[in-house]
Amino acid sequence: MKCGFSRVEITPKIGAVMAGTMELKHCIGVLDDLYVRAVAFDDGERKALIISIDLCNMATAVNDECRKRISEECGVDKDAIMLTCIHTHAGPLANTDDARTNKYSEQIIAQVAEYCEFLTEKICESARLAFEDTTPAKFYTATDKAEGIAHIRRQIMKDGSVVTNPGMDWNCSGDPITCCPIPDNTDVAHALGEPNETVKILKIEREGKNDICFVNFGLHATSAHVRKISADYPGRLCAIVERAIDNVNCVFIQGAEGDVAQINRNPSEAEKRFLIEDNENKGETLNKTTQIAQVLAAAVLRKYMLAEEVDISKITFGKKELSLPANKDDANYDEALRIVKLHEEGRHHELPYEGMALVTVLANAKRIVRMKTAPDFFNYSFFAISLGNFAFIGTPGELFCELGNRIVDASPFEYTMLCAITNVRSTYFLTSKALREGGYEAVTSNIGIGADDIMVEGSRELLERVKNS
């Protein structure tokens, strides 16, 4: 097996439209550069490619165009290509459809389109460079724990309601007013679930060239609450690992982070001190970002030399399309349309809500209006690449932690790494239980009750087929 690596910068210009927010925002600076990191695999008969992209997400059309061109230029099957985003909320918008949905001006849409064209060229360049860099390699895996940095953000309140990140000051954009908030727990009963604190590591030793270190963890990249470009904790993690270990290139793969955030509801006095410093400096000190990166890097450093070799014999891959039920609510369409129009006219202050309650009401209304003309079922593609006993499962959108756990647990492979937000611009994927409980993610998601079981079984069938092919 041969393996290659490349890293290509994709930092946007100052003034680029920011992603991960309901309101139009332009970046006013750069805290750290953004990259695409490509890892190419070649067993002599088949090729495969994984590209980690320092973006919140990327338009499905951009994904499709990149995979088409890479397939033609590099001789790799489209279904053996995974483009996966780290989900930083401090990156540029890479989706003209989102810009149109948000009713941005034609000038803004053209600006977003220009960045998408630039991005497409850079992603294709990274693929070519990675395949040009291939050399014989050996593969090793390890796992460790990163405790205390990931927290389930959905809370059940003492009145029985479900709220995402309660006890914080939010604006109508869905952004915290303070960069790194210390939440108030007065009305909170408990979190709805437990985070998965497992860090998965795939170490690739290459003849005569740098090692490659994949790091897989599920946690929203929302610790850099600034209007400046940043790869958030994944970028800082890669930098720390590359400084700490000689001759290594680090690649972060986002896991099932849909309901997992960095907000610690019970911070120590030491953590409170550095959160206060972050807030005083408008987030630019990135203390929280650094803490997360350091904890993850510590897990990598503990196990890097102890990783066990994996039998990597050949590349197999596959794709499976799943039909998932839509999350519709046509009965409340008229009221939802009224709320959406108020928001578009800048009159959301007339609604009897504030903070996260307002964010949730707006998100719910937008979803109801969006789903009015949508089909009853959506088709989503799931991807799998196996390297012997090791498999990557590429899933669309943002999976809830429990759903991600179920997919990985059902895998027939000894080692499985879940790659979220892969090959498509998508939505939240919740468990049916979470959809019934409600909350921000439940009212935002396009996907309805019953989809979780379809996804688990469909992913298992895909991985079984890939394993036996």
Do residues 288 and 274 lie in contact, with contact meaning Cβ atoms separated by under 8 Å? Answer: yes
The tens digit of pLDDT for each residue in 435-465 reads 999 999 999 999 999 999 999 999 999 999 9
Residue 103, pLDDT above cutoff 90: no
pLDDT at 358: 87
The half-sphere exposure of 6 on its side-chain side, counting CA atoms within 13 A, is 23
Instruction: Record the pTM.
Output: 0.95
> Could you give the dihedral angle defined by the CA atoms of residues 217, 221, 223 and 227, in that order, rounded to the nearest 10 degrees?
160
Region 390-401 average pLDDT = 97
Q: What is the residue whose two structure tokens read 């060229």?
A: 121
pLDDT at 281: 81
The tens digit of pLDDT for each residue in 79-98 reads 999 999 999 999 999 999 99
The tens digit of pLDDT for each residue in 253-272 reads 999 999 999 999 999 999 99
> Could you give the dihedral angle defined by the CA atoms of residues 458, 462, 467 and 469, in that order, rounded to the nearest 10 degrees?
140
The half-sphere exposure of 421 on its side-chain side, counting CA atoms within 13 A, is 29
Q: Which of 2-11, 28-37, 356-365 has the lowest mean pLDDT?
A: 356-365
Do residues 82 and 51 lie in contact, with contact meaning Cβ atoms separated by under 8 Å? Answer: yes
pLDDT band, residue 110 (cuts 50/70/90) = very high
**What's the CA gap between 81 and 69, in Å, rounded?**
11
Whole-number Cα distances in Å, 249 to 22, 306, 407: 34, 18, 28
- pLDDT > 70 in the chain, percent: 97
pLDDT band, residue 384 (cuts 50/70/90) = very high
Region 352-380 average pLDDT = 93
Neighbours of 270 (CB within 10 A): 9
The tens digit of pLDDT for each residue in 157-213 reads 999 999 998 887 655 555 555 556 788 888 999 999 999 999 999 999 999 999 999
pLDDT at 315: 98
Residue 125, pLDDT above cutoff 70: yes
Region 286-312 average pLDDT = 97
**What's the CA gap between 384 and 394, in Å, rounded?**
6
Helices 401-409, 451-468: axis angle to 10 degrees equals 30
Do residues 91 and 231 lie in contact, with contact meaning Cβ atoms separated by under 8 Å? Answer: yes
| CB-count exposure of residue 43 (10 Å: 0-12, 13-18, 19+) | middle
Residue 282, pLDDT above cutoff 90: no
DSSP 229: B
**What's the CA gap between 344 and 448, in Å, rounded?**
26
pLDDT at 206: 98
The tens digit of pLDDT for each residue in 336-349 reads 999 999 998 989 88
> Minimal CA–CA distance to 392: which of 402, 401, 382?
382
Give start and end residues of each alpha helix (H) in 9-154: 60-74, 96-101, 106-132
**What's the CA gap between 381 and 76, in Å, rounded?**
18
Q: Which of 28-37, 110-119, 183-192, 431-440 has the lowest mean pLDDT?
A: 183-192
Neighbours of 231 (CB within 10 A): 26
Region 409-427 average pLDDT = 96
CB burial string 385-408: b at 16+ within 10 A, e below: bbbbbbbbbbbbbbbbbbbbbbbb
Q: Which of 82-96, 175-189, 219-233, 235-249 has the lowest mean pLDDT?
A: 175-189
The tens digit of pLDDT for each residue in 41-79 reads 999 999 999 999 999 999 999 999 999 999 999 999 999
**What's the CA gap between 328 and 51, in Å, rounded?**
34
Specify the higher pLDDT residue, 401 or 282: 401
Residue 157 has phi, psi (to 5 degrees) of -90, 165
